[in-house]
Each structure stands twice: as C-alpha cells, then as structure tokens.
Amino acid sequence: NQDCKNMELAWNFVEWIVDRHKKLAGSPKGSHLIETLAMDDMVFTAKKFIACQAEFQKHGIWPQVSLGFHYTKPANLERIKQDGLMTRAERCGDQTYSRRLAYGDGIYVGNNPNAFGRFGKIGIIVAIIK
C-alpha cells in the first residue's frame, strides 16, 4: 500500500541524510555543531513530506522544492517540532501584528546556512515548495 511505500521512501531518504551528515561533520570543512534530529522525528517528517508531494502530483501540480535555513532560539524548538513553523499572527491570533514588523509577519529563511545564525542558536533546514 502507499503508506508502506512512503515509509520506505522516508527511511531511505533519512538514511541518506544521516550518511551525508556524518561525512560533512567529519570533514575539515564540517562542523561539530551540525546535528540531526532523532531518526523517528526525521522519518515522520519525511513521510509527511512525501505524502504531501504525492497529493500535489495527484492534482497535476509538480512543485519545485528547494532548501532553506531558518534560525531560532532553543526554547522554540519543541513548539516548532509540535506545530511546525508559524507566523507570529498564527501563534498569537493577532492579525494586526504584521503591521508592526519591519518586513511584515512571516517565516524567514535564507539559502546560505551561515548568513543568519545571529537570529538563533538553532538552525533548521526547511523544504520550500513552490
């Protein structure tokens, strides 16, 4: 069934990521500060992503996927793991909040993993679907 196939794809993807992580972290250019999440968290997320991608494709939509980097404070990580990334208005229910932010309310990501580390000690790799 499709659920089992998605699970197998997710495990294969996560194993590939972990292998690449080990190679990167162990190389001279690598960083011991780069860590992965627990395997079950990564597989769960990958499986949801694969199912979402399949749903898009079922409707004839072939999205482009790119990677982005989002930085946050360690205190926010558990909430992000539970609820995903959310705008401030989504978290607070305050739809007028975006008018008080310099760049508007949003989830900010960059394509350079080193550029925005000053915004938080935790870096998250996110898949951006266009």
Taking only the tens place, the pLDDT of each residue in 54-76 is 888 899 988 788 888 888 888 88
Q: Global pTM?
A: 0.61
Say how far apart CA 25 and CA 48 lie, in whole Å.
Answer: 27
Residues of the chain by 3-state class (helix, strand, coil), percent to 5: 50, 15, 35
Contact 107, 124 (CB under 8 A): no
Percent of the chain with pLDDT over 90: 8
pLDDT tens-digit readout, 106-124:
788 888 777 777 888 888 8
Per-residue pLDDT band for 33 (boundaries 50, 70, 90) equals: low
Helix (H, G, I), strand (E, B) or coil at 12: helix
Could you tell me if 43 and 8 are in contact, meaning their C-beta atoms sit under 8 angstroms apart? no
* Residue length of the chain: 130
